[in-house]
Chains A and B, each alone.
Chain A
Amino acid sequence: MNGQYAALIIALPLISAFFIPVIKAASKKAVMPFLLLVTLLQVVVAGWLFKEVYTSGKPIIVMAGKWQPPIGIDLYIGHFAALFLLIIAVISFFTAYFSMKSIKVEPVDKYAMLFLLLMLGATGMIATGDIFNLFVFMEITAITAYALTAYNKTGEAAEASMKYMILGGIGSSFFLIGIALIYGATGTLNMAQLAQLAGNINPTVAQVGLALLVFGLAVEAELFPLNAWAPDAYQAAPHPVTVMFSAFVVKAGLYAMARILYLMQDVGSWHSVLRLLVIMATLTVVVAEFSALRQNDVKRMIAYSSISQVGMIAFAIALGTQSGIDAGVFHMVNHAVVKALLFIGVGYVGMKLGGTTLEDFEGLGRKMPLTAFAITVGSLSAVGIPLFNIFWSKIRILLAGVAAGYAWGVALILGASVVEAVYYIRLIHRMWFGGSGERVSESLVLGAIMLFLVAVILVIGFYPNYIWGIAQKAGADIFDVGRYISNVPLLEVGA
């Protein structure tokens, strides 16, 4: 099959989302099964792309409208994008099933459309090779996220969504100002060409422009001063949506940030922007871990834990070394799996028992043993116990941090990890040794999904080398800008 058919990864969710009103007019019951079918097809397409990219070792460049890159918009599906498109598709498939079980608030057909478009937005953000197109996909992701956060229509949800909107609005305006500066200085929007021209930009323009772009993306990537929306939104959003936020929406923001940072590495003031980002990331980790300790709501607690892990990924990305990026990508994969598992588990408890406070988790080991087991494995992994997957990526991030000369950051992150261990162990203790209760029946399919994720965690934990190899390739895809430029068939324009 021709590589251009990779455009299906964007076209399929889009056309399906537009098709849902028609389906709803025919039969409202068919909407959710249709959602499941579409996400399954998306898994097939993404799997095909993954196989193509990793067997041939060459990225797939989709040129929209047969225009060569600086003229038209290209999708760049390299090693990183192929890996994450697959992760997005698989997790969306799981969450689609979870949504089918747990979404009871009307109107379900609109929920299904927004679900597909959230998946589309994250996919597009990861695949695109054009900086303004990145903005458009970022807005698609953000606006669907606003709507889905407020979907339950409670006061808390609306407030969280409003918070998110205001921060997101400021962020996207700043991102656009950054685009205006960069475009004014270079005359192009294509990422590969920007990377070529980055060295010639006036240093003031480049510094301010890059800082504004990073600032704009920091809202999506949940970095410290701009992530106040995240815990509220994670807590108030419907359970499946929280899974998606944590598993891949954040990752899309982080990836976009990493991509833009490394493309602009010829810019004179690059290292000062990196240093700023390291500080922001370290603060994110520390503040989030200490806030998590105070929480009484488990969903919110895990949300803070997720933010702190994201901060760790941003720390790894901001180191500016090959090993840092590789470790960051590895951690992204592990974090996606672990947080998907944890949020599915916690969401399932919330759905069955009607709440997610710590009291609801008392004696969960007797009430819902399977879910409790899954949450336990997820928690142990999140803490970074050896032989679970996060241990391997965390240790690599810390080593890369020491190698890059940020020992203080590493020390702070290690300290924060102790705090993390405290609250996760408190949760595990409550689940297995506290309270008592009747057995509640658990869904077999959801149980199978959770066990699958548990198996992935354990397999990566015991044999980290295979995924580490993939992560290294994906990391090189971000880090090696020279290869990125040579892979994009740029047309010579202008003088």
Chain B
Amino acid sequence: MTPDLIYGVTGIAVFAIGLVGALCAQDRLRRVLALKLCSVGAGFLLVVGAWRVPPASPDPVPHALVITGIVVMVSATAVALALIRRLQSLEAEDDD
């Protein structure tokens, strides 16, 4: 039971939970959350792949990739949330 095994399985489970949410969630905001979960799950897999038994230091390339992934994901989230806000405003105007 090394940490890479434990957290690797965790990452896959988190991705799967996000996948269920992204496919089934009804609420717009919650679907964004589900996609965020997927991205963290994918990040886990890369970080786990980079892990080496201490005292060896881990592989830095996947770390850089995950950082890139995190920044990309925050951009995508911001756009999705802006769309949600805009839509909500338009829908509220129509209902009035």
Question: Do A and B bind?
Answer: no
